[in-house]
């Protein structure tokens, strides 16, 4: 089984190194091959997603991704900026289903800015459509405003679009995920304003007929943003489009107060996937050896479960992470009085030892 390792920028290389260490002690035969991506891709080959990197990602059975972005690339033209790599990989690999768990580990209950009774035991799965919507819809650009009160001025514009098949396939992923969990699915839309999301709602309602054992609820996106603050534990699985999912999955992650703990998976139609931590490249702490590698290690666990068919090994890693937390080991981002502060490397070693 071939795994493409794309460390990226900032803390990416440090945290990915720990996940690689973990993969190497499982006793499985993985072929790991690395390539530069994001700013590192630009620095090496003049493009955030170099051809060789894309070819490797396509050839591999799964991709382990760190994070991209660093100060020195902020002034590049948009097409060359690091985040274009992640958009390009999603689109080119057809990774339409983004799975983002928002889980509050009991040992980290204090890290949340929300009251313990509101978030303790939180366990939501957000499923975000990842290759459609206004992220990729054409036409888009800056043009002369063709009509209305501002006719003749410059205007920026983008196109939100969802085709029936695009909605159906993500709805199936969501209903099936709900079947394996609490059997409740919330589809988030803005059907009261947007044609795209009235259509989304109609199609999700239709797909629901095939999953009578799942309770489906429709919720407007503004209300969802409120309910995530008011009573987040009421959610089980949430499914939504690319743009709303970008916002709500980050909001939900932050409810836990420990975004350094949250993995993510982006899957294609055959469960090939890209796995990355939910947090960013944190250039401010890069190279200091203090970043939290657990979200990346847990992303490797998701990879084993979803793409490599090794659910037992995934369980082993997840249990090892729980074990080091219960031992009181904490990186700086989740440290609190009474626990033991450790660096990136030590945390990785502790997980290896727990395995």
Ligand X SMILES: CC(C)[C@H](C(=O)O)[C@@H](O)C(=O)O
- Residue 86 lies near ligand X (rule: CB under 6 A): yes
The contact mask relative to a copy of itself for 109-128 (x = CB under 8 A, - = no) is: ----xxx--x----------
**Among 46-54, 80-88, 104-112, 171-179, the segment contacting ligand X (CB under 6 A):** 80-88
Q: Token pair of 56, please?
A: 């490797």
105 binds, among a copy of itself, ligand X, none (CB under 5 to 8 A by kind): none
- Residue 192 lies near ligand X (rule: CB under 6 A): yes
Question: In whole angstroms, how far apart are CA 259 and each of 156, 163, 238, 244?
Answer: 33, 32, 18, 19
How many Cα atoms occupy the beta-carbon half-sphere of 201 within 13 Å? 16
Q: Is 281 among the annotated ligand-binding positions? A: yes
**Closest CB to ligand X: residue number:** 83
**Among 49-57, 81-89, 116-124, 310-318, the segment contacting ligand X (CB under 6 A):** 81-89
- Residue 195 lies near a copy of itself (rule: CB under 8 A): yes
Rounded to 5°, angle at Cα 341 from 338 and 344: 155
Residues 6+ apart with CB under 8 A from 314: 301, 302, 304, 305
- Residue 285 lies near a copy of itself (rule: CB under 8 A): no
Nearest to 281 by CA among 38, 62, 56: 38
Contact between 153 and 265 (Cβ < 8 Å): no
- Residue 193 lies near ligand X (rule: CB under 6 A): yes
Smallest gap from Cβ 135 to a copy of itself, in A, equals 6
Nearest to 70 by CA among 15, 14, 19, 11: 11
- Residue 29 lies near a copy of itself (rule: CB under 8 A): no
Figure out which of the listed residues 31, 222, 312, 336 binds ligand X, where binding follows CB under 6 A. 222
* Alpha helices (H) in 221-343, listed in sequence order: 221-230, 242-255, 294-306, 311-326
β-sheet with 31-34: strand ranges across: 31-34, 2-8, 62-67, 273-277, 263-267, 97-103, 123-129, 237-240, 184-189, 215-220
Catalytic residue among 9, 133, 190, 272: 190
Q: Is 250 among the annotated ligand-binding positions? A: yes
Figure out which of the listed residues 65, 200, 211, 306 binds a copy of itself, where binding follows CB under 8 A. 200
Instruction: Please tell me whether residue 322 adopts helix, strand or coil conformation.
Output: helix
In angstroms, the CA 34 to CA 8 distance is: 10
Instruction: Please tell me whether residue 8 adopts helix, strand or coil conformation.
Output: strand
- Find the binding residues for ligand X in span 237-266 (CB under 6 A): 246
Contact between 89 and 62 (Cβ < 8 Å): no
- Residue 336 lies near a copy of itself (rule: CB under 8 A): no
**Among 48-56, 82-90, 118-126, 333-341, the segment contacting ligand X (CB under 6 A):** 82-90
**Among 14-22, 60-68, 100-108, 196-204, the segment contacting a copy of itself (CB under 8 A):** 196-204
Q: Which is nearer to ligand X, 126 or 304 (CB)?
A: 126
- Residue 138 lies near a copy of itself (rule: CB under 8 A): yes
Q: Is 225 among the annotated ligand-binding positions? A: no
In angstroms, the CA 243 to CA 293 distance is: 27
Instruction: Please tell me whether residue 186 adopts helix, strand or coil conformation.
Output: strand
- Find the binding residues for ligand X in span 97-126 (CB under 6 A): none
Contact between 232 and 120 (Cβ < 8 Å): no
Nearest to 108 by CA among 240, 260, 217: 260
DSSP secondary-structure letter at 291? S
Q: Which is nearer to ligand X, 303 or 324 (CB)?
A: 303
Which residues of this protein are in contact with ligand X, per CB under 6 A? 83, 86-87, 192-193, 222, 246
Q: Residues annotated in the binding site for substrate, as ranges?
A: 90, 100, 128, 222
Which residues of this protein are in contact with a copy of itself, per CB under 8 A? 78, 81, 83, 87, 113-115, 118, 134-135, 137-138, 140-142, 145, 147-150, 153-166, 190, 192-200, 221-223, 225-226, 228-231, 243-244, 246-251, 253-255, 257, 259
Catalytic residues: 135, 190, 222, 246, 250
């Amino acid at each position: 089984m071939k795994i493409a390792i794309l460390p990226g920028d900032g803390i990416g290389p440090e945290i990915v190194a720990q996940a690689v260490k973990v993969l190497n002690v499982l006793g499985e035969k993985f072929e790991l091959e690395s390539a530069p991506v994001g700013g590192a891709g630009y620095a090496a080959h003049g493009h955030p997603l170099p051809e060789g990197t894309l070819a490797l990602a396509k050839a591999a059975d799964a991709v382990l991704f760190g994070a991209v972005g660093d100060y020195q690339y902020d002034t590049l033209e948009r097409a060359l900026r690091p985040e274009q790599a992640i958009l390009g990989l999603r689109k080119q690999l057809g990774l339409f289903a983004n799975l983002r768990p928002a889980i509050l580990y009991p040992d980290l209950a204090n890290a949340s800015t929300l009251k313990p009774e509101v978030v303790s035991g939180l366990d939501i799965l957000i499923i975000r459509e990842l290759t459609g919507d206004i992220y990729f819809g054409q036409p888009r650009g800056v043009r002369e405003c063709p009509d209305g009160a501002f006719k003749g001025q410059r205007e920026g514009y983008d196109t939100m679009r969802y085709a029936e098949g695009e909605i159906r396939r993500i709805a199936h992923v969501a209903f099936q995920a709900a079947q394996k969990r609490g059997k409740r699915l919330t589809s988030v839309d803005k059907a009261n304003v947007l044609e795209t999301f009235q259509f989304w709602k109609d199609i999700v309602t239709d797909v629901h007929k095939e999953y009578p054992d799942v309770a489906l609820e429709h919720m407007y996106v503004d209300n969802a943003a409120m309910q995530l603050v008011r009573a987040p534990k009421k959610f089980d699985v949430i499914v939504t489009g690319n743009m709303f999912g970008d916002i709500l999955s980050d909001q939900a992650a932050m409810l836990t107060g420990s975004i350094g703990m949250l993995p993510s998976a982006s899957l294609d139609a055959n469960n090939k996937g890209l796995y990355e931590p939910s947090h960013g490249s944190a250039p401010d702490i890069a190279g200091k050896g203090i970043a939290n590698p657990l979200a990346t290690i847990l992303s490797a666990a998701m990879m084993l479960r979803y793409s490599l068919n090794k659910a037992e090994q995934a369980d082993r890693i997840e249990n090892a992470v729980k074990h080091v937390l219960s031992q009181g080991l904490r990186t700086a981002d989740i440290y609190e009085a009474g626990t033991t502060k450790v660096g990136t490397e030590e945390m990785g070693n502790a997980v290896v030892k727990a395995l």
